[in-house]
Amino acid sequence: MQNQGVQNNVPKLEEKETTSQTLEKNKETSPSSQFNSIFGNPNNAANNTLEDKVVGGISLLVNGSPITLYQIQEEQEKSKVSKAQARDRLIAERIKNQEIERLKIHVDDDKLDQEMAMMAQQQGMDLDHFKQMLMAEGHYKLYRDQLKEHLEMQELLRNILLTNVDTSSETKMREYYNKHKEQFSIPTEIETVRYTSTNQEDLERAMADPNLEIPGVSKANEKIEMKTLNPQIAQVFISHEQGSFTPVMNGGGGQFITFYIKEKKGKNEVSFSQAKQFIAQKLVEESKDKILEEHFEKLRVKSRIVMIRE
């Protein structure tokens, strides 16, 4: 009986030894650190599927924010660029988004609705109808998300330009004014032909051939006094030459309008003090590409970019 008891205990001893060995093996192969638990254990790479490697694998960190191999591959396919170019694009995008967060730039729903209302007006409809159209097409959420990104980026660029462009130098502005005097001489009145239609495509056909009579497009001679226009509309007429059309504008009530500029008459000189704001905007416009490029390059140099895997 005693021998039988010893024999009965043998399997238990062997089982205990096997369990110990298994634990030891697991200890060697299991993730042993937070790094492995996040980024994956190279020892287990052979057991991962291709999808696991691509979707789950982090390629690099930008100030602690991960960019995955899958995102790089997705950008490659979407933009038809090399892997290195896709990676650079994603790094730049991540840095810009981090800068938006740092500057606390936020576009709320009211601002989005205002922008959408203006776009709706340009298409001859009100905001509700515009939203309904997007919903019917299944694009509403995507449209608002993309619009929000666009407005946030605009605000970011404005912030960067305001802090980097020196428009306070009166000498610079005076030099610009003297060098571009023609920009500060505006007509007192403009002889035009007003083209009106409820169909924008018909209007564009009429613009392509002014001698062609297009059904649904009405024409009327109109004399416009520049002093009666708001600055934005006045700039449209100033910036277009005689013998050309203005861009198509929304005239309200479902009407689209454009003006053929026949002749500009008279001349008013805009003083330097009146032109200062315009000149400041021009100086920003002329140097903005260089400023933005330098700004984001500085941000990239300062950023902590850690490569995990190629």
Q: What is the 3-state secondary structure (H, E, C) of the chain?
A: CHHHHHHHHHHHHHHHHHHHHHHHHHHHHCCCCHHHHHHCCHHHHHHCCHHHHHHHCEEEEECCEEEEHHHHHHHHHHHCCCHHHHHHHHHHHHHHHHHHHHCCCCCCHHHHHHHHHHHHHHCCCCHHHHHHHHHHHCCHHHHHHHHHHHHHHHHHHHHHHHHHCCCCCHHHHHHHHHHCHHHHEECCEEEEEEEEECCHHHHHHHHHCCCCCCCCCEEEEEEEEHHHCCHHHHHHHHHCCCCCECCCEEEECCEEEEEEEEEEECCEECCHHHHHHHHHHHHHHHHHHHHHHHHHHHHHHHCCEEECCC
39: in domain:
no
Domain that holds residue 141: 109-164
Structural contact between residues 231 and 148, judged by C-beta atoms closer than 8 angstroms: no
Looking at the structure, do residues 258 and 232 belong to the same domain, yes or no?
A: yes
249: in domain:
yes
201: in domain:
yes
Looking at the structure, do residues 139 and 203 belong to the same domain, yes or no?
A: no
Looking at the structure, do residues 194 and 240 belong to the same domain, yes or no?
A: yes
Which pLDDT does position 71 carry in this prediction? Answer: 93
* Predicted confidence pLDDT, tens digits, the chain (310 residues): 444 443 333 333 344 344 344 434 443 433 333 333 333 344 444 444 444 444 458 999 999 999 999 999 999 999 999 999 999 999 999 999 999 999 899 899 999 998 888 888 766 678 888 899 889 989 899 999 999 988 998 888 888 877 765 655 678 888 888 888 777 778 889 999 999 999 888 899 899 988 888 999 999 999 988 888 776 678 788 888 889 999 888 776 778 899 999 999 988 887 888 777 778 777 777 777 777 888 888 899 999 999 998 7
Overall domain count for the chain: 3
160: in domain:
yes
**φ/ψ of residue 59, rounded to 5:** -85, -45
Looking at the structure, do residues 143 and 198 belong to the same domain, yes or no?
A: no
Looking at the structure, do residues 205 and 174 belong to the same domain, yes or no?
A: no
Instruction: Give buried/exposed letters for 50-61 (b at 16+ CB in 10 A, else e).
Output: eeeebeebbbbb
301: in domain:
no
116: in domain:
yes
85: in domain:
no
Return the bridge partners of 67, or none: 60
CATH of the domain at 248: 3.10.50.40
Looking at the structure, do residues 175 and 291 belong to the same domain, yes or no?
A: yes
Looking at the structure, do residues 282 and 175 belong to the same domain, yes or no?
A: yes
* Boundary-marking domain end, from 164, 198, 227: 164
Looking at the structure, do residues 175 and 275 belong to the same domain, yes or no?
A: yes
Looking at the structure, do residues 174 and 224 belong to the same domain, yes or no?
A: no
Looking at the structure, do residues 226 and 286 belong to the same domain, yes or no?
A: no
Looking at the structure, do residues 209 and 257 belong to the same domain, yes or no?
A: yes
275: in domain:
yes
Which pLDDT does position 1 carry in this prediction? Answer: 43
Which pLDDT does position 167 carry in this prediction? Answer: 52
Looking at the structure, do residues 278 and 262 belong to the same domain, yes or no?
A: no
Which pLDDT does position 56 carry in this prediction? Answer: 55
